[in-house]
Amino acid sequence: MTFSIRPLASGAIGLAVLGFVACSYNEAGPPELHASVKSAGPRPAPREPEPVALAAAPRQGAPSRYADNYQQQIADHAARMLEEGRHTFRFDTFGSEDFWGGQLRLHEALAGEKLGGVGSGVSPKAALEAGLKVDADAIPPDLAGKIKAGQVNLDDPATTAELLKLNAVVGVTGFFNERGQLRSMGIQCALCHSTVDDSFMPGIGKRLDGWANRDLNVGAIVAMAPNLKPLVDLLGVDEPTVKTVLNSWGPGRYDAELNMDGKGVRPDGKTAATLMPSAFGLAGVNNHTWTGGWGTVTYWNAYVANTQMHGKGTFIDERLSDAARYPVAAKAGYGQKRDEVDLITAKLAALQFYQLAMPTPKAPEGSYDTVMASRGEALFNGTAKCAQCHVPPLFTEPGSNLHKASDIGIDDFQANRGPAKMYVTTPLRALFDAQKLHRHGFYHDGRFATLEEIIDHYNQHFRLQLSDEQKRDLLEYLKSI
């Protein structure tokens, strides 16, 4: 392909190609330039380039039919994608209410007998204890005032229903009938991948999209459902076993492969569930999730929306038709899931865009010792060999970021559940936040309770022979990431 470049009257488009022009213009000279000569010979000293435009401009001074306004189109598109993606991430149930409400009847357990459901219902207090979060911005000021003044009964499941009506429960949408009764419920990405800043009170505050909700006990919540038969049938085990597995997860954990391979327990008897990761800081990262080989962010979004949230859509991955590795998925037909309506596929682009836009939260000033951290940084990139895999600033490998379990000195149970039988080099993010994000520890299953334990593990595994002082410096650097 050849495209010619000629002087331009209007500045904006000229700027867009400036990078290209700045080096190639001088070599070939105006006004015509072929892309093929771009890299010929040693470069003369750069001089001020003159603004130029793509050949699409029909004549000098007239706007190009193709390029005109394209920068603006990109900017508008980005803003729209961000907005749409945020909306999907926070509010879209993808039709999952047919499963959580329609089949499991989980909303009946939330409402309780008095409100037409079953059991005692879930009060706001109990919901907050189970790790559900409330979006303070969705609470009208008068109600907020009453809650602050202690005039709202937080022990009454009716209040939970009111909060659902206000769309204030993060990641859960309630559906109500004309009489105002809760008749169904669906879930969103935000359920597991958002928390709040607790600015109103613990569990109630401004949304923090992308921050893993490591307080949330999904298993215990699902186990409350009056009808677990769909899960019993899917997993092919009895109801007590389903309940035991769900209740074994605990807060901050979920098992996104259970309904693929049917493995609820590890060989050591502990739960097979993993920590819920954060969804921020993933731009530029190749393989996703704890175990490698599933795919990119958008692969995983389609996987989760279709097979975990039980939304309605289309999902295709022949690997899941392998009955030897993924017997549950093969039986359920997850390898070729084509629902009558598709409420997912059209939302994937913006959803991915929004996630990639989420930055890693920065360590608060004063939360680490800067002098020690700068010595620690040198260790991280040198003696301690961390940057061999955690390459800054992505803190994972640009390129293939997968490792055998033996590379990092741990067992391969979880790795073997993923298609690649590997672990992903976790892109290190927001390691300072020991209270919220890392309260259940580090690595896919939280096996290392603290960063100190991780450093000791690597010190031993890689025979680094770090001194106590070096370990302390490295720790301060990790806290700064």
CB closer to ligand HEC out of 141 and 399: 399
For residue 209, the minimal CB distance to ligand HEC (Å) is: 10
For residue 268, the minimal CB distance to ligand HEC (Å) is: 15
Residues in touch with ligand HEC (CB under 6 A) = 187, 189, 191-193, 218, 254, 256-257, 274, 276-277, 279, 282, 288-291, 297, 300-301, 304-305, 309, 351, 355, 384-386, 388-390, 403, 407-408, 410, 423, 425-426, 428, 431, 442-444, 451, 454-455, 458, 478
Smallest CA-to-CA distance from 100 within 287, 273, 225 is with 225
CB closer to ligand HEC out of 17 and 282: 282
Contact in structure between 248 and 263 (CB atoms under 8 Å): no
Smallest CA-to-CA distance from 454 within 400, 408, 391 is with 408
Smallest CA-to-CA distance from 453 within 439, 435, 471, 470 is with 471
CB closer to ligand HEC out of 24 and 396: 396
For residue 126, the minimal CB distance to ligand HEC (Å) is: 19
Q: Is 202 exposed, middle or buried (0-12, 13-18, 19+ CB in 10 A)?
A: exposed
Contact in structure between 353 and 303 (CB atoms under 8 Å): no
For residue 78, the minimal CB distance to ligand HEC (Å) is: 18
CB closer to ligand HEC out of 16 and 332: 332
Q: Alpha helices, DSSP H only, in 358-434? A: 370-381
Residue 225 CB neighbours (<10 A)? 24
Strand partners, 174: 185
CB closer to ligand HEC out of 58 and 398: 398
For residue 445, the minimal CB distance to ligand HEC (Å) is: 7
CB closer to ligand HEC out of 48 and 268: 268
For residue 455, the minimal CB distance to ligand HEC (Å) is: 6
Smallest CA-to-CA distance from 340 within 307, 305, 313, 303 is with 313
The DSSP bridge pattern shows strands 5-7 and 52-54 to be: antiparallel
